[in-house]
């Protein structure tokens, strides 16, 4: 299961989505995420579904790969859905003991579930189609205007890209540690929640220790290769907005603006 996490993985394909400017992709994803929380009827959800499907097809990323990424988030999704279902006030349609299920609750739960679903799909798609360094360049590009206010945009971006780069490595390591602990009789699957949470400690401690060692060695390797912040640095992939970037950004911006205006008016 741990290997299914798709956030942070990058799959190289020669697709339109891959070739988009990272800034376009980041901004469009942000617009999309805001927009997702503003829509509230079925036809708009169908529109979002079509939009997502189109993006996935254009990205050439296998659908299964993206859907697999949902698996680890499933418990979180379930909790949100259940919470919404039971704790929303409104017209009661089902009642048993102290549990009241309302019509509004069911709607909200459904919408919440769908929203999280699309949220994960789009964030996975962003990292699946954008390599860490390109993503960094994009974030850095978007943060550059903030440099005037002493925001360390390059450092933030570098930290994020290293974090992304190390996700698969650390996942592999977690797998290894789990196997090693299992071999010594550790039990991660049985018992109640408290017992299971406690059983994670023998995984987390070695994982943290090795992460610090890695950080230390990586810092040294980076310095050895002449890294000294963004001073005098050039870029492997220069960012440049193309016509397609402008069109895509415009489409997503217009959708968001439409949704915001409608929210204000209604």
| Residues at the site binding other proteins, with contacts judged by CB under 8 A | 10, 12, 131-133, 161-162, 164-165, 168-169, 172, 213-214, 217-218, 220-228, 232-238
- Name the H helices within the chain: 16-19, 22-36, 42-59, 63-68, 74-86, 103-129, 132-143, 153-183, 193-198, 201-224, 243-265
Which tokens belong to 22? Answer: 């990272």
Collapsed DSSP state (helix, strand, coil) of residue 184 = coil
Smallest distance from the beta carbon of 209 to other proteins, in angstroms?
Answer: 14
**In angstroms, rounded to a whole number, what is the distance separating the alpha carbons of residues 13 and 60?**
7
Query: Quick one: 150 or 228, whose CB is closer to other proteins?
Result: 228
CA atoms lying within 13 Å on the CB side of residue 120: 19
Smallest distance from the beta carbon of 212 to other proteins, in angstroms?
Answer: 11
Q: Which residues pair with 95 in a beta bridge?
A: 100
Smallest distance from the beta carbon of 51 to other proteins, in angstroms?
Answer: 27
Query: Quick one: 3 or 262, whose CB is closer to other proteins?
Result: 3
Smallest distance from the beta carbon of 127 to other proteins, in angstroms?
Answer: 10
Q: How many CB atoms lie within 10 A of CB 177?
A: 18
Cβ-based neighbours of 149, under 8 Å, separated by 6 or more: none
SS (H, E, C) 47-58: HHHHHHHHHHHH
Smallest distance from the beta carbon of 151 to other proteins, in angstroms?
Answer: 21
**In angstroms, rounded to a whole number, what is the distance separating the alpha carbons of residues 134 and 126?**
11
Smallest distance from the beta carbon of 131 to other proteins, in angstroms?
Answer: 4
Query: Quick one: 3 or 103, whose CB is closer to other proteins?
Result: 3
Query: Quick one: 23 or 115, whose CB is closer to other proteins?
Result: 23
Smallest distance from the beta carbon of 67 to other proteins, in angstroms?
Answer: 21
Query: Quick one: 179 or 262, whose CB is closer to other proteins?
Result: 179
Query: Quick one: 182 or 235, whose CB is closer to other proteins?
Result: 235
Smallest distance from the beta carbon of 188 to other proteins, in angstroms?
Answer: 23
Query: Quick one: 10 or 122, whose CB is closer to other proteins?
Result: 10
Cα 11 from chain centre: 15
Buried b (16+ CB within 10 A) or exposed e, 102-132: bebbbebbebbbbbbbbbbbbbbbbbbbbbb
Query: Quick one: 158 or 255, whose CB is closer to other proteins?
Result: 158
Q: How many CB atoms lie within 10 A of CB 185?
A: 6
């Amino acid at each position: 299961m741990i290997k299914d996490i798709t956030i942070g993985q990058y799959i190289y394909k020669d697709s339109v989505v891959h070739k988009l400017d990272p800034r376009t992709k980041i901004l469009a994803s942000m617009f999309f995420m805001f927009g997702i929380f503003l829509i509230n009827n079925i036809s708009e959800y169908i529109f979002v579904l079509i939009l997502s499907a189109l993006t996935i097809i254009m990205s050439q990323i296998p659908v299964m790969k993206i859907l697999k990424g949902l698996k680890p988030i499933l418990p979180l999704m379930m909790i949100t859905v259940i919470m919404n279902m039971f704790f929303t006030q409104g017209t009661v349609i089902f009642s048993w003991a102290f549990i009241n299920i309302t019509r509004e609750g069911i709607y909200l739960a459904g919408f919440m579930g769908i929203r999280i679903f699309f949220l994960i799909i789009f964030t996975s798609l962003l990292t699946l189609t954008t390599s860490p360094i390109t993503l960094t360049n994009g974030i850095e590009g978007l943060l550059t205007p903030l440099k005037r206010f002493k925001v360390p945009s390059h450092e933030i971006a570098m930290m994020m890209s290293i974090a992304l780069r190390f996700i698969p490595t650390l996942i592999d390591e977690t797998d290894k540690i789990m196997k090693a602990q299992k071999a010594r009789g550790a039990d991660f699957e049985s018992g109640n929640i408290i017992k299971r949470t406690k059983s994670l400690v023998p995984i987390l401690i070695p994982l943290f220790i090795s992460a610090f060692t890695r950080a230390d060695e990586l810092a040294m390797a980076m310095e050895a290769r002449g890294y000294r912040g963004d001073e005098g640095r050039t870029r492997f992939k220069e960012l440049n907005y193309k016509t397609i970037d402008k069109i895509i950004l415009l489409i997503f911006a217009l959708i968001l603006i439409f949704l915001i205006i409608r929210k204000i008016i209604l």
